[in-house]
Amino acid sequence: MISIKRAPGNCRGLVVQAFFDSAESPNILLCSSSCRQESEREVTVADGSSMRVPYVGPVKVVVQDRLCFVGALVLGDTVLLGAVPMADMDLTINPSRQCLEQDPRSPNIPQALVKGIHTP
């Protein structure tokens, strides 16, 4: 289960079951939203057609004890968690159990790889 709510709290929170996709979908897709629309995005769907959809956010996403803030596209009838929020929360897909799990290399806190900027 994942928890989704608009930060800083001006829309109704949801606790939902979600599909997840680490390859094709970079963001989170919401099936409906009581959140205020910030803008629109043009998306291309599986059949190759394009359409404009509402873009809402920031959205707070909580999975287990991990959280992140992302923008969300409002489209379709299911919630889809994409690669960007999964990476931000340092979650991995367990295909045999069909679930998200904390990366075993960082079980206590999400870990991120960053490139440092060095000044002379």
Domains of the chain (ranges; CATH) run: 2-102 (2.40.70.10)
- Give me the pLDDT at residue 52, please: 95
pLDDT score recorded for residue 73? 87
Sign of CA dihedral 105, 106, 110, 113: negative
Judge whether residue 99 has pLDDT over 90: no
pLDDT (average), residues 22-46: 75
- Report the distance separating Cα 79 and Cα 64, nearest Å: 17
- Of 113 and 96, the structure prediction assigns the larger pLDDT to 96
pLDDT (tens digit per residue) in 36-71: 788 999 998 889 999 999 988 788 888 888 998 888
Position 8 scores a pLDDT of 57
| Residue 50, CB-side half-sphere exposure with 13 Å CA sphere | 4
